[in-house]
Amino acid sequence: MFFVTILSETLLYLCFSLLAGAFILKWIPINSKPTINISTSLQLIAVLGIALLSFIPLIQIVMHVSQMEGIGSAVESILLTFRIGNAWLFTFIICIVTAFYITLFGNEHRQIFIIGELLLFLLLTIGIAWSSHTGSIEGAYGITIHTMHVFAVSIWSGVLLIVCWFSSNSSNWLNFLRWFHPTAIGCFLLIVISGILLMNVTTAGSDYTDTFLVSYGQSLLLKHLFIIPLILYALINGFWMKQRIKKDPTFNPRPWVRVEFFIITIIFIITGALNEQSPPMNLENLIEHGGYAPLLNMFYDGSLEGSKVALIATDSGLFFAAIALLCLIGSLYIYRIKKNAALSFLVSVIFVVMAYFAIIQSIAIS
């Protein structure tokens, strides 16, 4: 069930991205974006996906409660009395309204109708944030910062998803970059700010390095490591892509945008795993009842005793860090010499693996 839930969370984020990208790009003039074809039916499928996929985390609760009350009573009780049930019921209602709205006005390009779509999308993100860890821990404050995070991520990844998979050409790419590049920078800054605030809630009382001892911290570390190549590809597809297209108008930027989107998708997968793990609000208690992270136990060759982690310079750690740095430089070099984008993606994944080993080999537990 754990892996099913992670898959459903990833698909849920992709549905959000598709809707956000479709709504945003509808606002953009034809001469400021590639030729795009995304049907109303696909948008409706994304809405249906949000309604169904957001219900999957409730299934385990329903199965547990139904052993005492019966399936019908369990569903009614969870939807009406549980916070996560209330959140899904709200999301489901907004999904129905959004589906009708898209059916009626999906082909309209007037700003008033597009604003309506974006407002409904904002309500959908509130529904998801309502059921999150931060929503349950901090109430309205947690819901607000989680909504900011999901909204910004969806806009950035959504536009990338549409232009790299649903565009028939790379025409108007320079005009596209003129508005999308600053938009992406704004989204990234909002993601960083809201991400720090989210982390302060879920890891309150624990130092960042101490969380490496449990699965939540391991997932958080991998997520942050993948953000590094993501920033690199954002620079490639933003700053340097403009110069490349000016020099060579026949250059196809879409494979490189796909690499950036693949990195975001991996981050979605890791985020799905994070949502299924207990945040380290009380690290010592979490270690006592759940033990140390299996991933840490697999790669750390020291003694797993204690709850404090310090980073120290070691020969093996520096060795892996050097390889990681070379991989990061290699990803950029592959772009500069116009080699395959897939090769650059592979080198970026190797960077994350090497950087992870560098950190694991540099920790001291006490």
pTM: 0.92
Helix (H) or strand (E) holding 229: helix 215-235
Cβ of 76: how many Cβ atoms within 10 Å?
Answer: 13
In-domain check, residue 57: yes
Whose CA is closest to 233, among 163, 323, 330, 332?
A: 332
List CB contacts of 268: < 8 A, sequence separation 6 or more: 9, 10, 13, 14, 157
Phi-psi region of 70 (alpha: psi -120 to 50; beta: other; left: phi over 0): left
Q: Give pLDDT, residue 119.
A: 95
In-domain check, residue 5: yes
Whose CA is closest to 258, among 138, 139, 162, 125?
A: 162
CA dist 97 and 120 (Å) reads: 8
In-domain check, residue 318: no
In-domain check, residue 45: yes
In-domain check, residue 105: yes
Q: Give pLDDT, residue 252.
A: 87
CA dist 226 and 292 (Å) reads: 23
Whose CA is closest to 267, among 308, 234, 309?
A: 234
* Domain range enclosing 102: 1-175
Whose CA is closest to 34, among 139, 142, 138, 176?
A: 176
Q: Give pLDDT, residue 3.
A: 79
Q: Give pLDDT, residue 322.
A: 96
CA dist 20 and 162 (Å) reads: 10
Report the number of distinct structural domains present in the chain. 1
pLDDT tens digits, residue range 308-359? 888 888 899 999 999 999 999 999 899 888 778 999 999 999 999 999 999 9
User: What is the 8-class DSSP label of residue 364?
Assistant: E
Question: Which residue, chain included where needed, has tokens 């821990």?
Answer: 137
In-domain check, residue 244: no
In-domain check, residue 183: no
CA dist 363 and 183 (Å) reads: 38
In-domain check, residue 134: yes
Helix intervals (H) in 106-203: 111-130, 133-138, 140-165, 173-202
Q: Walk along the chain (366 residues) and give the pLDDT tens digit of each residue.
A: 677 888 999 999 999 999 999 999 988 988 999 988 888 999 999 999 999 999 998 888 888 777 777 777 778 888 888 888 899 999 999 999 999 999 988 777 777 888 899 999 999 999 999 988 788 888 889 899 999 999 999 999 999 999 999 988 888 899 999 999 999 999 999 999 998 998 888 777 668 888 888 898 899 999 999 999 999 999 898 888 888 888 888 888 999 999 999 999 999 999 988 888 888 877 888 887 788 888 888 888 877 887 788 888 889 999 999 999 999 999 989 988 877 899 999 999 999 999 999 999 999 887
